[in-house]
Amino acid sequence: MGVRKKIARLMFSLSRSKPVLLAGKRIELQMPSDPIYLRLLRANIASMCELAGFCRRDSSKIVLAVDEACSNIIRHTYKNQPGKPIYITCEIQSHDMVITLVDLGEPSDLKSIRSRRLDEIRPGGLGVYIIRSVMDQVTYENLADIGNRLVMAKHLPKERAS
């Protein structure tokens, strides 16, 4: 059997594995604060969603939430300055997929992190609303003088959770 077929079979079997076999699997990424890298981030998060057993619809929502969170870091924390680090960790745990974002920007005013009113018709301002509506748990933290941390958790699909 050729190497490509073996890899294809392995990838197929991984995509069909229960998350209990994948619990503890994680990826750690570091990307610069440049929107061009969001494409790579989305691809990695989508792959982890697939491994965790999320359907395409839920995967798309999770990817959108992470994309919005990183876009907010780029826009608000780093004020569109390229080259600033964003650290991303995505881990499949026994009941949740947990995504953690850390930046080294100015600590955010946690009271100001909120969505705009939905009846306001204007572009932008819905990232926080999307994040909170998609994810099951969302926690914003200041890291003293270091920066900020956002932890987002999504429960694994019931039919796949252990």
In the predicted structure, residue 122 carries a pLDDT above the cut 70: no
Consecutive H or E run containing 7: helix 3-16
Condensed to tens digits (0 to 9), the pLDDT of residues 2-42 reads: 656 555 554 555 455 444 446 678 999 999 999 999 999 99
- CA torsion sign, 79 to 64 to 62 to 49? negative
At a CB cut-off of 8 Å and minimum separation 6, what does 8 contact?
Answer: none
| Averaged pLDDT score across all residues of the chain | 82
More confident residue, 90 or 141: 90
CATH class of 30-155: alpha beta
Tokens 């876009």 sit at which residue? 71
Q: What is the pLDDT of residue 112?
A: 56
Neighbours of 42 (CB within 10 A): 16
> What's the pLDDT band for 108 if we cut at 50, 70, 90?
low
